[in-house]
A and B are shown apart, each in its own frame.
Chain A
Amino acid sequence: MPVLTMRDALNQALREEMKRDESVFLLGEDIGLYDGSFKVTRGLWKEFGEKRVLDTPIAEEIIIGTAIGAAMSGLRPVAEMMTVNFIMVAMDQVVNAAAHIRYMFGGGTKVPLVIRTPGGGGHQLGAQHSHSHENWFAHVPGLKVVAPGTPADAKGMLKSAIRDDNPVMFVENEGTYAVKGEVPDGEHLVPLDKNDVKRSGDDITICAHSRMLIVAMDAAAELEKGGISAEVVDMRALRPLDMAPVIESVKKTSRLITVEEGWRSYGVGAEIASRVYEEAFDYLDAPVARIGAAEVPAPYNKRLEKIAFPGKADVVVTARAMLGKN
């Protein structure tokens, strides 16, 4: 199987879907002539022309608004927001419009729209380019939210998202674009509503998505050296949230750690923990442990930034403590 970076896997998904369906078009800031801020759309402007790869002004509200109107009028837009922080400027369009239009119009229309946007820190980009806000979107009925952590899932989920008839928030991560992995050629679809056990284990369950999936996998490998068998559940499907593999895993391991790159308060881990308490409380031998970013705006200084975001060591230390193997 070919090995691709996450960036190229996403690019392949876009190209395949644009070839497959004339109604698919891309829009965003510098995605065309410039080839994309993170080069995910590299080569597509040249291949498909400016009608289907539309460079927009730096004006997020018009990008999302245009995408919504086009989606209601027979097209399948894929909008790129250069970073998730920029999407705040267009939150009215995402939440009040995209997410609610179908319901508030009694099912009279649909909004088949994909919004791709990278979040994540660790690149010294400071407080306005480094955050992870997928939980904001996962809070909203009417949106689907996915956050893949492997190149194969990135390709398969982006293709599924483009074919889906709902607004899908497709959350990427700046720290994973160069990550490599095997990616199936051609038609490869991954469902938007299925989470996935990425590593089997018996002693403890670790839930993570996006870049934190990689952190969790590294931590699991480290834990294995110390005789701890960790099961890693990829929470790539955040809304609708597929809890089945987590519940099943917790029934086996009785211990759960959630890892997210964003702040813990009102976060993904909070939601997962709460559902585990509701559905599998009796199986737990310890409270759920949540790992997330320090509750500060992302600092620029490298030393501070390093401790502001969660890493492998945080997961390993937490797991050992939960199992009494410090």
Chain B
Amino acid sequence: MKVEQRPTESKPRGTLSDKPALLRLYREMLLVRRFEEKTAEMYQAAKIGGFCHLNIGEEATIVGTISSLRPDDYVYSTYREHGHAIAKGIEPNAVMAELFGKETGTSRGRGGSMHLFSQEHRFYGGYAIVGQALPIACGTGYAINYQEKDEVVMSIFGDGATNIGAFHESLNVAKLWRLPIVFVCVNNLYGMGTAVNRASAVTEIWKKACAYDMTGERVDGMDVLAVRRITDQLVEQAREKHEPSLLECVTYRYRGHSMSDPDTYRGKDEIKEWQGRDPILTLGEHLKQQKLLTDQEIQKIDEDVTAEVEAAVKFAEESPEPEPKDLYRDVYADQGAA
């Protein structure tokens, strides 16, 4: 394992050289996994409505990228963003409450699964139109430069978004205006049910950066340490040199596109094969080999995160619904409760 040394600012999540940081990566991935498993259960129990897209299988990509950021850095995400929100530091309580549509949710129950948000955590939103958030992320990048700050924006999207005009417009201005952005493509091989090679003329997404004279990288999105190492470099490049980049993380979602996807477009063998490379099991094995973690400790972490998720469900269950009198609240900024 390569040891990373950050020369300047303190990394809030630590570097890959220290045990607490490694355990934290493991814990966060497992928290996202258990949270999403519980989400599926709650969806099936009709506690959660609407569309619901799970991150199961993508934990290494999520935690490997977002753990590279400082608390004051920004994340823009998609409708498959529960894990991204948790990795950025939002309490599982507030995320689960939002899925339940409760007033205590990240978006006061007005957004739902696809529209988590937290100003405080600089989690600048889940957006449900493919490719829509990339131009908006560029606006935050422009504001950072304008205000002469040293924050970084991470814009996360799927492989499907790289075929849309907004993706290309965004990469173009990010390079042109030297915006401090890391574009993270979560390539889970399918845009809904359409495989990458049936939707994109270029199946290695990182190559699309070449058109904008931008750094493009591809990484095994099932390997959290590899993801974290490359992201550290790209974040630093964005922060120090205002050089944007495109990072393709090749990963896999074990579940369908959404909870209502019968998953008929891919083989069971394929799913099994990817599950054989599970990012959490892989890191667990690695940490055991390095004598940094025991089976007993793994079990303890699992119990802890499972309890955290159970507590989130309890919190969501017990939280109040929004009041009908507040239907019109926040349509406009100068408009409080109706």
Pick from B23-31, B42-50, B127-135, B268-276 the stretch touching chain A.
Answer: B127-135
Q: Kindly state whether residue B92 has any CB partner on chain A within 8 Å.
A: no
Question: Which A residue sits closest to B144, measured CB to CB?
Answer: A73
A141 CB contact (under 8 Å) in B134, B140, B331: B331
Within 8 A of B (CB), among A50-104: 51, 54, 56-57, 59, 61-62, 64-75, 77, 92-93, 96-97, 101-104
A72 CB contact (under 8 Å) in B140, B172, B329: B140
Q: On chain B, which size bracket covers the interface?
A: 35 or more
Q: How many residues does chain A have at the interface if contact means C-beta atoms less than 8 Å apart?
A: 43
Q: Is the CB of B334 within 8 A of A70?
A: no
Q: Kindly state whether residue A266 has any CB partner on chain B within 8 Å.
A: no
Give CA–CA (A239, B141) in the complex, Å: 31
On whether A103 and B331 interact (CB within 8 A), knowing A70-B139, A108-B119, the answer reads yes
Q: Is the CB of B139 within 8 A of A105?
A: no
A166 CB contact (under 8 Å) in B119, B132, B135, B332: B332
A93 CB contact (under 8 Å) in B105, B132, B172: B132
Q: Kindly state whether residue A107 has any CB partner on chain B within 8 Å.
A: yes
Residues of A close to B166: CB separation below 8 A: 61-62, 65
Q: Is the CB of A109 within 8 A of B169?
A: no
Q: Kindly state whether residue B147 has any CB partner on chain A within 8 Å.
A: yes
Q: Is the CB of A96 within 8 A of B129?
A: yes
Residues of B close to A62: CB separation below 8 A: 135, 138, 166, 169-170, 172-173
Q: Kindly state whether residue B3 has any CB partner on chain A within 8 Å.
A: no
Number of A-B residue pairs at CB separation under 8 A: 140
Q: Kindly state whether residue A177 has any CB partner on chain B within 8 Å.
A: no
Residues of A close to B124: CB separation below 8 A: 69, 72, 109
Q: Is the CB of A106 within 8 A of B111?
A: yes
Q: Is the CB of B144 within 8 A of A108?
A: no
Q: Is the CB of A103 within 8 A of B172?
A: no
Residues of B close to A156: CB separation below 8 A: none
Q: Kindly state whether residue A21 has any CB partner on chain B within 8 Å.
A: no
CB distance from A298 to the nearest CB of B (A): 26
Contact with B along A1-41 (1 / 0, CB 8 A): 00000000000000000000000010000000000000000
A108 CB contact (under 8 Å) in B107, B139, B147, B173: B107
Question: Which B residue sits closest to A60, measured CB to CB?
Answer: B169
On whether A69 and B146 interact (CB within 8 A), knowing A102-B331, A103-B330, the answer reads no
Q: Kindly state whether residue A120 has any CB partner on chain B within 8 Å.
A: no
CB distance from B74 to the nearest CB of A (A): 8
A106 CB contact (under 8 Å) in B117, B137, B141: B117
Q: Is the CB of B107 within 8 A of A105?
A: yes
Give CA–CA (A215, B115) in the complex, Å: 45
On whether A93 and B111 interact (CB within 8 A), knowing A59-B172, A61-B165, the answer reads no
Q: Kindly state whether residue A131 has any CB partner on chain B within 8 Å.
A: no
Q: Is the CB of A75 within 8 A of B332?
A: no
Give CA–CA (A104, B109) in the complex, Å: 9
CB distance from A66 to the nearest CB of B (A): 4
Residues of A close to B330: CB separation below 8 A: 102-103, 106-107
Q: Is the CB of B108 within 8 A of A106?
A: yes
Q: Kindly state whether residue B306 has any CB partner on chain A within 8 Å.
A: no
Q: Kindly state whether residue B254 has any CB partner on chain A within 8 Å.
A: no
Query: Interface on A for B, CB 8 Å cutoff?
Result: 25, 51, 54, 56-57, 59, 61-62, 64-75, 77, 92-93, 96-97, 101-112, 141-142, 144, 164-166
**Can you pick out 12 interface pairs between chain A and chain B where the beta carbons lie within 8 Å of each other?**
A61-B135, A61-B165, A65-B136, A69-B124, A69-B143, A70-B139, A70-B140, A70-B146, A75-B146, A102-B331, A105-B111, A105-B117
Query: Interface on B for A, CB 8 Å cutoff?
Result: 74, 105-111, 115, 117-119, 124-125, 127, 129, 132, 134-144, 146-147, 165-166, 169-170, 172-173, 176, 329-334
